[in-house]
Structure 1
């Protein structure tokens, strides 16, 4: 979207005011404001009420909109600091001067932000400044808005800024948003940013979004493996309470690992807690019903609970699965004796 120019103002004098704002001609702009004020001593009211009336893209535009759009920094300063014009004036579509300042690199955007402009202000359709910057690939403006505290995940009808950037194939914008912890799993109208990138056939954005989704999973796997390794060391040292805690933490990261339940069941057995040992053994057996060790853990827990008949049944199940496992065979013999 190209920066709009000042047009369609009916009164030639008013058109001259907007042209002076567009050209950053501060002396002429001040003189014209005085003409509009007609000696009433209320220049703020005179210029703040001056708006583009004719229908079109500029309807409702103020002098500050024009100055911000064209990068007219001197006129912006005069309006904001001298006349105390509301920095968040909106046009007919609810757009502020800051939005149009984002299309120009003359410093007006940063100036308006430094003087109280709302970086999260959305237009009448719910589209924020961050949406515009992301979809247009304006990385400099994205960085500025985020540095000023803009919320990274505002939701518009078509999604978040990350949806917009991905859908337009704006790799740089996608990377910046992800670096600022944008929600890459956010679903709006059944669409995630990754799906938006796929619809746009943006290979680079797809790769980036897939990679960032895989990283947390990889980190969880690494952390879980470290906890398991430490748990195994503690188990060998017969420090069963510590081992059980480490296995429990690993389960939070990887709750579908049957071996973890088997090993923690063994810890409970050594600590004399048959009830907990059986609970973990049952979960292990449910996950891996054809694993002989799961049957063995059930039998051992039942032995501790003095349910010898139940223990015999579990050991027998394990022996059927692995007829050459002498440990299960010995355990079965002991259970039957008991």
Structure 2
């Protein structure tokens, strides 16, 4: 052995250490696990740690890193797995029968840290019963961690071993995580295993996450898969200074028709996305009682889609809240003309006429609405 190995073996000599300090033993054991020094590791565990009691399994399972920090609660198996120490892993799992799913302070298993390497200890632990779907205390699974690292080989290995492709944590699914890091390769593998490209977690889809990360390759990959463009556009309108971020539009429009399986009208799609973004932002402003801004946004949307009766109904409501009965009635009349059998159009007309103090006309419109929907309590209350 080398001189450094000899030095590590010294705690096993009873001539030098009658009662070894526990902290020193712990350090030597973890160092041997890290270096895959199996003979030294065995001596430390059986002779010193277990002290000849014949219970090495219990002794080594109870031994944990005690320092406060990222490694707190680590077992020897955590150390060996994270360093790729395959011989020590074999000894712990096959000879001592240590629980392969031991958890540290954060609920993380040895397999999780083995995912930081390709093959080796990770594959060994999976072959010996490690739970590929076990999550830590934050709900993140091994697939989340592998996706975050962009470790394609590990993502493939976990999925090949039966890992669930769509576990949800605070960060979303593994596809969300990979998209947020711009890991194209990991995303491709997840999509090939039928990951849901439109999965909504905490109000965002993988496409929205990729847009926030400004990853053009990932955006185009999701668009090709069939991700919901309008949903992402609506999100960007609420979280960007412009109505629809230029970056988002440039990414999805540039060569996107060549990437889709079915060609589409690019300019038409762009118009639909912008319209959707305007409507979404207008609805948000209306909800926040910012009626002036909402009316302006609806007006811009009408330029792109002049045949949407709902836009005229919503803008009519804005004018009503701002006390402008004439504009409210004009929009309500346009709405009624487009959708003569829609009770809400009648309701809007009645409200506008009420504001203009034309109570007879308002009564007639409310009656029209109630005939179309006899159980509409809002219209009934307005008429009463």
TM range (shorter): 0.5 to 0.7
- Equivalence for 1:291: none
- Equivalence for 1:56: 69
| 2: CA distance, partners of 1:168 / 1:105 | 19
**DSSP-derived class of the 2:102 partner:** coil
- Equivalence for 2:131: 118
2:39 paired residue among 3, 27, 51: 27
| 2: CA distance, partners of 1:213 / 1:10 | 58
Q: Structure 1 residues 10 and 169 mapped into 2: Cα distance closer, same or farther (>3 Å)?
A: farther
Query: Offset at 1:217?
Result: 8.4
- Equivalence for 2:307: none
Tell me if structure 2 keeps the 8 A contact 1:65–1:96: yes
TM-score, length basis structure 1: 0.61
For residues 268-283 of structure 1, the aligned pairs below 5 Å read none
Query: Offset at 1:105?
Result: 3.0
For residues 163-312 of structure 1, the aligned pairs below 5 Å read 163-213=176-226, 218=262
**DSSP-derived class of the 2:27 partner:** helix
Query: Offset at 1:218?
Result: 4.1
| 2: CA distance, partners of 1:176 / 1:69 | 24
- Equivalence for 2:154: 141
TM-score, length basis structure 2: 0.54
| 2: CA distance, partners of 1:10 / 1:172 | 46
| 2: CA distance, partners of 1:32 / 1:120 | 33
| 1: CA distance, partners of 2:205 / 2:182 | 14
Query: Offset at 1:39?
Result: 1.1
Tell me if structure 2 keeps the 8 A contact 1:47–1:63: yes
Tell me if structure 2 keeps the 8 A contact 1:73–1:106: no
Tell me if structure 2 keeps the 8 A contact 1:71–1:105: no
Are 1:128 and 2:141 an aligned pair?
yes
| 1: CA distance, partners of 2:101 / 2:92 | 12
- In structure 2, stretches of 5+ residues that fail to align are 1-20, 228-258, 264-384
Of structures 1 and 2, the one scoring higher in RCO (CA 8 A, sep 6+) is 1
**DSSP-derived class of the 2:226 partner:** helix
Q: Structure 1 residues 10 and 206 mapped into 2: Cα distance closer, same or farther (>3 Å)?
A: farther
